[in-house]
Amino acid sequence: AIETLYEKDGSLAPLQGKTIAVLGYGSQGHAHAQNLRDSGLTVIVANRPDSANGKLASKHGFTPTPVAEAVSKADLVSVCLPDEVQPGVYEQDIAPNLRDGQTLLFTHGFNVHFKTIDPPQNVDVVMVAPKGPGHTVRWEYERGGGVPALLAVHQDATGSAREKALAYAIGVGGGKGGILVTNFKDECETDLFGEQVVLCGGLSESIKKGFEVLTEAGYPEELAYFEVCHELELIINLIKRGGLDYMRYSISNTAEFGDYYTGPKIVDDASKQRMKDALTHIQDGSFAKAFRDDYANGFAWFKKQRAENAGHGVEGVGKELRRMMPWLNPVELQDGKAVEV
């Protein structure tokens, strides 16, 4: 079992009286900045002041500054920028302003592990990666809980890199959910695998293909949406609370029998082999290269996928049905922003 730490195993002291600069006020940044501030630490935020996120930071009582200025003022620099923009911002605004003994903190090991960012020897390089979307990181903290987090030390220049990372992890609420001590390689590769193969890629394609099969066979779209998408949350909640066996205990015998009877025919050994191939592409850096290359090409492929996926049938009927269920607190994307409807 890997080392798991809780609030009692550390303290906020290593960061008290220090300045934490959170770079970016997006999904992770807005949660980290507010949670750390509510934990009593001193936080400054770097963001473009006039963007939607910049305005949100101002509304939340921060004064968004340029990245270079925030790095100059900070003892700990938390890089909450999109992975693809980090190398450019690092070269231009972070690296030239780094000082001896500062701490550089990442929320995902991607750039350090794949060596697209190579920090100097004189700074600590650590990671605190909450295992949940940024909005959940904030929401859980506000209700007194915390999303579990991974902690790693890549480089310990000061001898206290780990204590500072632990203080940060506690400050964002990770100490309530559990802080798992790992390394950049394991965090990065398992995170990419999970999101590509199961959580995001595998799940999205299962939903889409399940919806296609039912509607192409003539069943109403609404029925298909409920069966292959809406009910997922109920199943996931059961699994989250009690594992697969509790989920199977709760569903009907018919459903449980069908789970064993049909499941392995859908996700079979050939699927498992493709999962292994996906892991190989993550480990050998070819996924990271594809991501970098498409970014260098204006994310042309990425944007095409996003547009095509937005037009899928399951999205259209889903939108209509969710509008009829206001208790779900439905949101819709409008011009790239999530808007409550």
14 exposure class (CB count in 10 Å sphere: 0-12, 13-18, 19+): buried
Residue 226 CB, nearest distance to Mg ion (Å)? Answer: 9
Tell me which H or E stretch contains 44: strand 42-46
Give, as one character, the DSSP assignment of residue 93: I
Between CA 232 and CA 238, with CA 236 as vertex, the angle to 5 degrees is 120
Give, as one character, the DSSP assignment of residue 90: I
- Annotated ligand binding at 191? The verdict is yes
* Complex with Mg ion: residue 123 or 188, whichever CB lies closer: 188
As beta bridge partners, residue 153 has 126
**The pair of three-digit structure tokens given for residue 53, joined into one six-digit string:** 């996120």
Distances (CA, A) of 179 to 9, 148, 173: 10, 6, 10
Residues 149-168 that bind ligand NDP (CB under 6 A): none
* Complex with ligand NDP: residue 64 or 211, whichever CB lies closer: 64
Instruction: Please state, in angstroms and rounded to a whole number, the distance separating the CA atoms of residues 72 and 102.
Output: 10
* Complex with Mg ion: residue 140 or 191, whichever CB lies closer: 191
Instruction: Please state, in angstroms and rounded to a whole number, the distance separating the CA atoms of residues 214 and 316.
Output: 15
Amino acid of residue 143: R
- Annotated ligand binding at 134? The verdict is yes
Show Cβ contacts of residue 184 under 8 Å, excluding neighbours closer than 6 positions. Answer: 106, 109, 112, 113, 127, 152, 154
Q: Please state the separation of Cα 192 from the chain's center in Å.
A: 10
4-12, 116-124, 127-135, 247-255 -> range binding ligand NDP (CB under 6 A): 127-135
Amino acid of residue 165: A
* Complex with ligand NDP: residue 153 or 238, whichever CB lies closer: 153
Instruction: Please state, in angstroms and rounded to a whole number, the distance separating the CA atoms of residues 36 and 167.
Output: 10
Instruction: Please state, in angstroms and rounded to a whole number, the distance separating the CA atoms of residues 25 and 132.
Output: 16
69-77, 183-191, 297-305, 311-319 -> range binding Mg ion (CB under 5 A): 183-191
Instruction: Please state, in angstroms and rounded to a whole number, the distance separating the CA atoms of residues 30 and 168.
Output: 15
Among 108, 135, 281, 312, the one annotated catalytic: 108
Q: Is 80 in the site for ligand NDP (CB under 6 A)?
A: yes
Q: Which of 10, 14, 24, 87 binds ligand NDP (CB under 6 A)?
A: 24
- Annotated ligand binding at 51? The verdict is yes
Residues 203-224: b if buried by 16+ CB within 10 A, e if exposed: eeebbbebbeebbeeeeebeeb
> Could you confirm whether 108 is annotated as catalytic?
yes
Window 48-67: contact mask with ligand NDP (x via CB under 6 A): x--x-xx------------x
Q: Phi/psi at 135 (nearest 5 deg)?
A: -65, -30
Q: Is 29 in the site for ligand NDP (CB under 6 A)?
A: yes
* Complex with ligand NDP: residue 52 or 214, whichever CB lies closer: 52
Q: Is 107 in the site for ligand NDP (CB under 6 A)?
A: yes
Residue 96 CB, nearest distance to Mg ion (Å)? Answer: 28
Q: Which of 191, 215, 225, 288 binds Mg ion (CB under 5 A)?
A: 191
Q: Which of 134, 146, 174, 177 binds ligand NDP (CB under 6 A)?
A: 134
Residue 325 interacts with which of Mg ion, ligand NDP, none, CB < 5 to 8 Å by class = none
Q: Is 81 in the site for ligand NDP (CB under 6 A)?
A: yes
Amino acid of residue 217: A
Residues 288-327 that bind ligand NDP (CB under 6 A): none
In the annotated binding site for substrate, the residues are 252
Residues of the shown chain interacting with Mg ion in the complex, contacts defined by CB under 5 A: 191, 195
Q: Residues comprising the binding site?
A: 25-28, 48, 51, 134, 191, 195, 227, 231, 252
Q: Which residues are annotated as a binding site for NADP(+)?
A: 25-28, 48, 51, 134
Q: Which residues bind ligand NDP (CB under 6 A)?
A: 24-29, 47-48, 51, 53-54, 67, 80-83, 85, 89, 107-108, 129-130, 133-134
Q: Which residues are catalytic?
A: 108
